[in-house]
Structure 1
Amino acid sequence: MPPTQLTRQVAARIVDYIRSEQVSVGTRLAERTLAEHLRVSRSPVRNALRLLADSGAVAEAERGGYTVVDTDPDLVTETEEGVDETVYLAIAGDRLDGDLPDRITESALARRYSLTPAQLNRVLRRASSEGWIERLPGYGWEFRPTLTSPQSYADSYRFRLTIEPAAILEPTFVLDRAAVEHVREQQQRLADGAIHELDNVALFNINHVFHETITECSRNEFFIEALRRVDHLRRLVEYRRSLPRSSGVVRCREHVEIADLLLADRRAEAAERMREHLGTVTAEKTDT
């Protein structure tokens, strides 16, 4: 699904910042610093950086954040994004179906999906940034492991059921109020009906940002990285599998409740509500 207007606006402001401040190639862009400079929460900055990564303007840094790749970038058009999204999902689907080998060349992908070099570059950058394909040293690309069996998918939810409530109770937990208010607002919009307008990709992206935003407040890098890793692994499966939208509305309301408890500084209750929420979703999505 194309980026929201807010994401586009923040991305454009980041581009203006890169140009006006004459930020050099290789400079690291930190979410927190950009959020403070632009006076927005970290969530829209995170989404904007992902959009810029898809366009090739920035790239994910090894130790988190992003680095500048192009100091005078142009954002792709909505038409280009629509084509990219279609191809992206086709590659993801073919990979899940076992129709693509573990290793593949760019020329093979370009031929199979009738892609221009620019289109191929954008799609590979996105898949790479989302963690399910990586460039091989020298030549070609390799698909990284994803969750494909029902058991591994169920295990991922059991793991989340363990770490996410624990992250809320960490002694280092510091609420990022602006970020939590932002994701709460997103969830409220979904619960109010917007969920019926979104496809599985867009819904997954909004929901995983909600959970990652809360876990990031723990300030525990092991919890944070573990959840990101699990989200990368389950991403392709979630693109195909989601709850009925009627059930999704209920889960979004539960997200709002969790956010409200955190904003009211009722962490113990929020952790328990998170545990109940994930337990229900685990049962619904894995038929256990």
Structure 2
Amino acid sequence: MVQKAVTALQARLADQIVQWLKQQGAPQGFRLRESALADQFQVSRSPIRAALGLLEQQGWVESLPYRGVELRVPASELSLFEENLDESDPQDLYMAFLIDRFLSELPAAFSERELQQRYGASRSEVQRLLVQLEVDGIVQPGKGYKWLLSDNLNNAQSHYESYRCRLMMEPAALLEPEWTLDTESVEALLERHQQAIAQPEQVPAAQLFALSADFHELLMHCSGNRFLVAMMKQQNRLRKPSDLLSMQLHTSVEKACRRRMAILEALLQGRNREASELLRALLENDIRVMRHTYSEVARLSRQELEQLVRKAGLTLRLPAFDTPAD
């Protein structure tokens, strides 16, 4: 009985690592550190080590002496352990869930079976959905068979307050006396942005959000202040559901990437004050985009929202709704 529980945890962590690598757009040769993964998923290093062992059995990663664990294939080639290729695209179900979260149409607690009934999905589809949602900090396990919604930003006022908090903190962080530029990480992040610009049509909302989240967390890391890093991690978790939906519908990959690249390039040249002003302008632009999303999307009926999402290139299985009588 104990062995089954351990195996389930290992498989779940392995799937979470796969989802995380896909969101990072991790290339072949990408290094995975047990300590960083343990911090990312808030578990000890032992289950992380076991989960990496499962990935190694699949031939996806390799343990190298003195170098740790490296990806043997690009993250785009990875799949979940229970993935059924005959089933629908898991991103369809994921975006349908985010729409419901955005519109506050989900109960605070729900079971796998309730999600199956709501979305007309199979058990394996819902399990894969919950793995990704848990990785993203959108849901968390509750008591018994229930899952709980995490405290995310899903109304205009809370989102606005979040951005005002970030406006006070983030630009100032670039001017901190303890600021130390992590040149290697900044250059690597610049390269990821350049790759996204080269093929913008192949950048899904999840990858674009990962670029944004990594950008903001890296800047706070360079500030040398652990509390700013913790604040940014929390803000990224809170904003993810609504930002993913907004990015899917409105964001230009090239414009978003170039704004962040200008800041990174200024930092590489030691122009921190200029970078700070550019970061302030970026956040103020994000506030305008956020308000546009709430004013233009949140007031739509479910039918209109489905049509808008389809125009953005998605095919969603939204929950059934009653058609108004003529």
Match among 261, 264, 273 for residue 268 of structure 1: 273
Distance 2:44 2:224 in 1: 15
Q: How does 1:229-268 map to 2 (within 5 A)?
A: 229-242=234-247, 244-245=250-251, 249-268=254-273
Q: Is 1:7 paired with 2:26? A: yes
Match among 86, 95, 109 for residue 115 of structure 2: 109
Shift of 1:116: 4.8
Give ranges in structure 2 of 5+ residues lacking alignment: 1-18, 59-77, 296-326
Shift of 1:10: 4.5
Q: What percent identity do the matched residue pairs reach?
A: 28
Match among 156, 160, 164 for residue 150 of structure 1: 156
- 2:169 and 2:228 in contact (8 A); partners too: yes
**Letter in structure 2 aligned against 1:108:** E
Q: 1:286 to 1:115 in 2, by over 3 A?
A: closer
Who is 2:42 aligned against?
61
Who is 2:79 aligned against?
76
Q: 1:114 to 1:219 in 2, by over 3 A?
A: farther
- 1:59 and 1:67 in contact (8 A); partners too: no
Q: 1:245 to 1:76 in 2, by over 3 A?
A: closer
- 1:196 and 1:245 in contact (8 A); partners too: no
Greater CA deviation, 157-166 or 199-208? 199-208
Give ranges in structure 1 of 5+ residues lacking alignment: 15-27, 32-48
Q: Is 1:137 paired with 2:143? A: yes
SS at match of 2:54: coil
Q: Is 1:183 paired with 2:201? A: no
Q: If you compute each CA radius of gyration, which structure gives the higher value, 1 or 2?
A: 2
Distance 1:269 1:175 in 2: 15
Q: How does 1:30-45 map to 2 (within 5 A)?
A: 30-31=35-36
Distance 1:262 1:199 in 2: 27
- 1:104 and 1:141 in contact (8 A); partners too: yes
SS at match of 2:48: strand
Q: 1:85 to 1:280 in 2, by over 3 A?
A: closer
Runs of 4+ in 1 over 6 A off after TM superposition: none
Q: 1:82 to 1:175 in 2, by over 3 A?
A: farther
SS at match of 1:100: coil
Who is 2:225 aligned against?
220
Q: CA RMSD in A?
A: 3.5
Q: Is 1:200 paired with 2:205? A: yes
Match among 157, 161, 166 for residue 160 of structure 1: 166
TM-score (norm 1): 0.71
TM-score (norm 2): 0.64
Q: Is 1:126 paired with 2:145? A: no
**Letter in structure 2 aligned against 1:194:** Q
Q: 1:280 to 1:6 in 2, by over 3 A?
A: closer
Distance 2:251 2:101 in 1: 26
SS at match of 1:9: coil
- 1:261 and 1:269 in contact (8 A); partners too: yes
- 1:195 and 1:245 in contact (8 A); partners too: no
Distance 2:153 2:114 in 1: 24
- 1:177 and 1:263 in contact (8 A); partners too: yes
Who is 2:99 aligned against?
93
Q: 1:249 to 1:83 in 2, by over 3 A?
A: closer
SS at match of 2:89: helix
Distance 2:24 2:148 in 1: 33
Shift of 1:142: 0.6
Distance 1:85 1:251 in 2: 22
**Letter in structure 1 aligned against 2:271:** R
Distance 1:284 1:108 in 2: 33
The superposition leaves residues 239-288 of structure 1 with CA deviations (integer Å, 9 ceiling, x where unpaired) of 22248555x53443221121111112222322222122222332343369
Q: 1:5 to 1:231 in 2, by over 3 A?
A: closer
Shift of 1:101: 0.8
Q: 1:62 to 1:221 in 2, by over 3 A?
A: farther
